[in-house]
Amino acid sequence: MRLLRSAPLLATLLCLVAVTAARAALPPVESFGTTPIIDNVTLSLDGRFIASSYSGDKVAIVILDRSTKKLTQRVDFDQSLKLRGMNFVSDHVLIAQFSITYTQRGNTEEKAEIGAVFSIDVRDGSSRQLLEAKTNSRIYPSSGGFLSRKGAAPDEILMSALLLENAAAGSSPDEASNSVLSVNPLTGKWRVIEKGSRTTSGWLIDTEGRIVGRTEFNRKEQRRTIRIKDGDDYRIIYEHTDPDFNTIGLAADGQSVLALGARGGDRVRLWSIPFTGGGPQPLYQDAGYDVEGVVRDIYDRRLLGVSVGGLEQRVHWLDSAAEARVKALEASLPGRRIQIAGYTRDQKLVLAYAVSRNNPGVYYLIDFSTNRAEVVGQEYPQLAKIALEGKPCASIADYLTGMTVLSYSEDPVAAAKVVDAYAKSNDKFVILGGAMGDSALDTAGVKAVAQMPSREELIASIVACIGAPASNIAGAIGAPASNIASILSTIEEKAA
């Protein structure tokens, strides 16, 4: 979360904001003032649980039960872990994907990242690292990766990992084969579904968790191969040696593989490689920008579109239903880009993230069955309060209820002056309190701070005194020594 500074942080309340709508229109962000920013929010498939994360002394994932509006679980992870994404694979199982940076030592030191996948049972907060090498001697360390929420059995998920032929200590990844495993995320037990070769670099999985093909990389020849499953074997549909031509997944019809690359052109394009052969066929090219990335469904990982470069990061949609949903939401929030962060099985409840260059990212929970929309940070302020724990201004947590605005400044009194002046001319704007360092301020305390001279005013006063008669200087010297020392120190710093 990006709300906290060591300088004073003042909380105020917009106490009269009403939004009504005849249709399924989203409430505009402006109606809520500055909304608390909450990161990495996702929704369970039954709509009961919301998961959110934040980074402080530790990386924490918190679970909120929407039926009771209470935080039910909190799971802490080591600060060295970077959360790359999380999503629910069932009503009560959350998968969190992390990475950690480490230094490879040799002739030169190079930094690299390795991954780690954790499962969390949101009912009791229990968690475990899946396919951890310490408890699975056949798995090469940190090689586990998430593939699909649908495994070989109803309660299993699909993952990939490097399986060692020889589990002896010191085995290298060159002695392992990239394989598909079906894993029970609660027990950690796994079984091999498909074993690849030592050149297998990735897998092509459809939305039902079925293996459709695999990619291979021959390091010696720098050759890349795409193979499609044909009975018990795999047949080649395309080979190349272009390091910048990258496979990104299956097409929506399941009859071709999609890839990104320039292939001799001026721009990176989207290509289709049919299962029937014939090589790459151009599918989409933007006149002015490269195709830079992909948009995937949060749950089944199918490709929904590709993102196009430039400041606005436009999306070229491959899925018409996904495009229609996003366009409808963007119509309610003009100027903002919408990302679907979650939805329920019946798709009546949708979690959407709205962001633009001029507005902070805001999560909305839209209920299409009732035509209501909630701002997650306002409806569930407990998620915002979590990030205040252990911070000097944790005392303002009780103010984060309902529609609140946070004001802060590096100058010790500037924020107080601004909100106090605004409150005098706006009777709907009420100051609740604030914090200065470790000290909590009530309404009177904020108003008292607002009456204090600013840092610039104090500096100007002492400079004026230096050039004034001795009697004025004597009066200044009569002030507390700590005040004079602080002001003189500031003058010295400015002179330097």
Token pair for 226: 């795409």
pLDDT single digits (tens) 231-278:
989 999 999 999 999 999 999 888 999 999 999 999 999 999 999 989
**Distance (Å, rounded) from C-alpha 57 to C-alpha 3?**
16
Better pLDDT: 68 or 462: 68
Tell me the backbone φ, ψ of residue 212, rounded to 5 degrees.
-105, -30
**Distance (Å, rounded) from C-alpha 330 to C-alpha 363?**
13
Lowest-confidence region among 26-40, 84-98, 324-338, 340-354:
26-40
CATH number assigned to the domain covering 38-284+335-379? 2.130.10
Q: Are 443 and 432 contacting, i.e. CB atoms less than 8 angstroms apart?
A: yes
pTM of the prediction? Answer: 0.73
Rank 79-83, 259-263, 314-318, 337-341 by mean pLDDT and report only the highest.
259-263
Q: Where are the domains of the chain?
A: 38-284+335-379, 455-495
**CA torsion through residues 310, 312, 316, 319, sign:** positive
**CA torsion through residues 168, 169, 173, 174, sign:** negative
pLDDT single digits (tens) 280-302:
999 999 988 999 988 989 888 88
Helical ranges in 195-339 per DSSP H: 320-332
Residue 105 pLDDT exceeds 80: no
**Confidence category of residue 22, pLDDT binned at 50, 70, 90:** very low
Q: Map residue 300 onto helix, strand or coil.
A: coil
pLDDT single digits (tens) 347-359:
899 999 988 877 7
Q: Are 182 and 157 contacting, i.e. CB atoms less than 8 angstroms apart?
A: yes
**Distance (Å, rounded) from C-alpha 415 to C-alpha 130?**
47
Region 137-158: what's the mean pLDDT?
A: 91
Angle at 77 between CA 351 and CA 73, to 5 degrees: 55
Share of the chain above pLDDT 90, in %: 39
Buried b (16+ CB within 10 A) or exposed e, 67-82: eeeebebebebeeebb
pLDDT single digits (tens) 402-442:
566 667 677 778 888 888 888 888 877 788 778 777 777 78
